Structure 1
């Protein structure tokens, strides 16, 4: 596994000219480029069907690019599969857990899979359990947990690893307000330690406050890119009070009219 203190000069994620999808004749993504550096949180936003999930599948190596390339921690999947795989952690929108493993056993299994030292890993597990108010559930099986609690387990496993690149899909769905606050705090901590985060969410207000940069996708095309303020400017809003929701609506309306921005 690569060092957690990633070289800030090497992007944690570099997508260059990616065209891809399920069919050669009808690609979902069109010449997509995204760069995420260590310590950054980049928000991935778009309507349902915009290509967010397809982009994530390409990053995870579940789909092969038709054109372009995807690099994680400086390498492609073909160049160094071990480094590529060990440098990413993914939290899907729908939590998936092993029915016969307790919460703590899930976390210990993750620690072993990523070759984490036992004592520090156990200490981090305890800290994460407190952050997400899951201490009393460490010995529980998944069938006894609510969807929100299952989502917490997925997040705890990913945060335990502190990979070079953490990919999270709709992390705020199903979480209570205290868990959301705990998640934001935990994400700040892993960013401070050098992890990069690609976060896909429809909760634009959270990304407006926390994201370093945003990628706005529409029908597989990048229609805006930059800081939240830069995205608002690209949407035609110079007023500091303009919301990211307003900017997103304007960008999509413009793209639908055939006048793509960015």
Structure 2
């Protein structure tokens, strides 16, 4: 039986003006699973993701990563996690290779492993020749690729992505999908938001739909979409107040 890598239990986020951004959601992502977290803009996706990775505090509920509490063991949880926000904010005035070595140093990646991984992933995303350049010279797509290499390079237990396909060319998106599958085959779990529902439908094992801070659907991809497309199901629940 696969172990839960991510457990969200009765998580809520209430802002200082008493606005409830997320209201009592619970879900699990197991080892080997790719989980799509979908919803309209402002539904609570990014708020939840930021709580999972420990960059936003929360008062109600618990979040566990590989059995460790995000509240009680934040450093341990961060050591098990890779996170890419929807607009990666990288260090502009270091080179690409300096950034990757910095990530490897933080996560104690050995010299041998980092050399192998950097070579493999940089060639895959076709940025090998740019690793010696300052990140400030990179295009948005190149920065996204560099951030992705930094996420996969230390082989985390949990990868958390907020709109990871934005800014990627079709070839890079293809390689990202394969890397996600490969990571899960090696025991990791992936929790990501996306508006590209066709991609989610093809690669995800499980899916949650959030609307106005409430989880309105959660289960395997087949359970949620049935004989319909994920896009049809999503439009039904967010526009017509259908429930699953």
Q: Shorter-chain TM-score: what band?
A: over 0.9
Q: Measure, in 1, the Cα distance between the counterparts of 2:109 and 2:68.
A: 22
The C-alpha deviation readout for 1:131-178, integer Å capped at 9, x for no partner, is: 111111111111221100110011110010211111011111111111
How many angstroms apart in 1 are the aligned matches of 2:126 and 2:14?
Answer: 39
- Determine if the alignment matches structure 1 residue 166 to structure 2 residue 166: no
Is residue 124 from structure 1 mapped to residue 110 from structure 2 by the alignment? no
Q: Which runs of 4+ in 1 moved over 3 A?
A: none
User: Does the alignment pair 1:12 with 2:17?
Assistant: no
Query: Within 5 Å, which residues of 2 pair with 1:1-262?
Result: 8-9=2-3, 11-23=4-16, 25-233=18-226, 239=227, 242-255=228-241, 261-262=243-244
1-structure distance, mates of 2:70, 2:88: 25
CA distance in 1, matches of 2:222, 2:16: 36
Question: Equivalent residue of 2:141, what SS?
Answer: helix
**Alpha-carbon offset, residue 78 of structure 1:** 3.6
Residue 254 (structure 1) shift: 3.2
Alignment partner of 1:79: what SS?
coil
Q: Secondary structure at the match of 2:61?
A: strand
Larger deviation: 209-218 or 242-251? Answer: 242-251
* 3-state DSSP of counterpart to 1:167: strand
Mark the runs of 5 or more structure 1 residues left unpaired by the alignment.
Answer: 1-6, 234-238
The normalised TM-score by structure 2 is: 0.95
Q: Structure 2: any 5+ residue segments left out of the alignment?
A: none
In structure 2, distance between residues paired with 1:28 and 1:187: 29
Contact kept in structure 2, 1:21 and 1:63, CA below 8 Å: no
Cα 1:254–1:77, aligned 2, differ >3 Å: closer, same or farther?
same
Residue 15 of structure 2 aligns to a residue whose secondary structure is: coil
Contact 1:165-1:198 at 8 Å conserved across structures = yes
Q: Secondary structure of the equivalent of 2:201?
A: helix
Give the whole-Å Cα distance in 1 for the aligned partners of 2:17 and 2:107: 35
Cα-Cα RMSD: 1.5
Q: Does the C-alpha gap of structure 1 residues 21 and 161 become closer, same or farther in structure 2, counting only changes over 3 Å?
A: farther
* TM-score between both structures, scaled by the size of structure 1: 0.89
**How many residues get paired?**
244
TM superposition shift of 1:123: 0.6
Q: CA shift at 1:24, angstroms?
A: 6.9
Aligned partners of 1:21 and 1:54 also within 8 Å: no
